[in-house]
């Protein structure tokens, strides 16, 4: 059995991790760590877990990692660096669901995340966990940076088109919509029900922290630079991400070329569902680790691609477990293929 610890166990991603890991036949959750809920049983904090797991939430200490094989860290960016550095020193594998180890350049990190990176020496050791595009590197990772939720929905949809030279990369328009759980569990006045209900709003236009992540990995996995705009929106729903991408196709490109690009990229990917020219819906991926992708090619040679995921599963906890499976030599689907609630 793989002995697991979870830091940030009572947040949205932490609870989603626990929910999924309880169904994993090769895993034993042995430690839960938190801050404001230290000393409480996890089932007291989240009654949905009653009679499923009753571990107490502990304060994180290095000596508490003894006996663990792998540590999931599900805390806001900027709060994880010391914890991760301590875990790496003890030889425990780490999967970070935050953004602290996704970017190569600490200066770019500081610009977008608004604080200094105090463990930048670990950036070169970090492996980006986009499972469908970086599996070989993930297999030997000691520190795994789980992709952001928006970048997951965007990269999975765009990379086959860029890799196969389907679209012009001089300008790509990306518009994404997310449920409110993407903002985390911490209370915020602009996230209360009466502020988000019956409304849609764009936010962090031009300065969202996922912009450099999208840019870095479009270039790394796609093999060339792209110019794009990214506009995220908040939806009055709890979970889910829906991304719509517009780009101009290259001369003589048709639907067969687009289909071939997606099929050749994902013919062995267990969690990518291709809809062809049908349009996927967000409701069909909720509580699952699937990414659904469809497209429409217009007469004016503009290609519109649709991509949808559950931000808490494929965009966070589910992809983290998929990465764990790869790191531990298990089937990627272990504990995930039938994870609907």
β-pairing verdict for 228-234 and 201-202:
antiparallel
Residue 194: CB atoms within 10 A of its CB come to 7
CA dist., res. 18 & res. 228, Å (int): 36
The CA-CA-CA angle for residues 41, 46, 49, to 5°, reads 85
Under DSSP, the state recorded for 192 is S
Residue 26: CB atoms within 10 A of its CB come to 14
Segment (H or E) for 215: helix 211-222
Pick from 42, 43, 72: which is nearest to 58 by CA?
A: 42
Backbone dihedral angles phi then psi of residue 196, each to the nearest 5 degrees: -100, -25
Note if 149 is an active site residue. yes
Annotated active-site residue in 40, 131, 149, 328: 149
CA dist., res. 297 & res. 252, Å (int): 12
Residue 134: CB atoms within 10 A of its CB come to 20
Residue 28 CA: distances (Å) to CA of 5, 23, 140:
9, 10, 21
Instruction: Give catalytic residue positions.
Output: 149
């Amino acid at each position: 059995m793989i002995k697991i610890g979870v830091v940030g166990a009572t947040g949205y991603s932490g609870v989603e991790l626990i929910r999924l890991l309880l169904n994993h036949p090769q895993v034993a959750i042995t430690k839960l760590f938190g801050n404001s809920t230290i000393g409480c049983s996890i089932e007291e904090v989240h009654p949905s877990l009653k009679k499923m797991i009753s571990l107490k939430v502990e304060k994180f200490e290095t000596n508490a990692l003894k006996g663990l094989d792998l540590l999931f860290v599900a805390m806001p960016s900027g709060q994880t660096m010391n914890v991760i550095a301590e875990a790496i020193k003890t030889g425990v594998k780490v999967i970070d669901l935050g953004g602290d180890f996704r970017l190569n350049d600490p200066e770019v990190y500081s610009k977008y995340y608004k604080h200094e990176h105090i463990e930048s020496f670990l950036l070169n050791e970090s492996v980006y966990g986009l499972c469908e595009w970086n599996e070989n590197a993930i297999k030997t990772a000691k520190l795994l940076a789980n992709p952001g939720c928006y970048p997951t929905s965007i990269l999975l949809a765009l990379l086959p088109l860029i890799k196969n030279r389907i679209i012009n990369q001089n300008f790509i328009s990306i518009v994404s919509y997310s449920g409110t759980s993407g903002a985390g569990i911490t209370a915020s006045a602009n996230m209360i029900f009466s502020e988000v209900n019956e409304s849609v709003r764009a936010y962090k236009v031009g300065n969202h922290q996922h912009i450099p992540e999208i840019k870095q990995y479009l270039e790394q996995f796609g093999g060339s630079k792209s110019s794009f705009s990214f506009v995220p929106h908040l939806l009055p729903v709890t979970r889910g991400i829906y991304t719509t991408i517009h780009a101009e196709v290259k001369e003589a490109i048709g639907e067969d070329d687009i289909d071939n690009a997606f099929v050749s990229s994902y013919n062995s990917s267990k969690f990518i569902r291709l809809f062809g020219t049908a349009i996927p819906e967000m409701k069909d991926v909720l509580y699952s680790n699937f990414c659904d992708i469809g497209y429409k090619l217009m007469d004016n040679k503009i290609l519109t691609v649709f991509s949808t995921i559950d931000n808490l599963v494929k965009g966070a906890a589910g992809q983290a477990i998929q990465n764990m499976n790869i790191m531990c030599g298990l089937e990627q689907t272990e504990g995930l293929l039938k994870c609907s609630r």
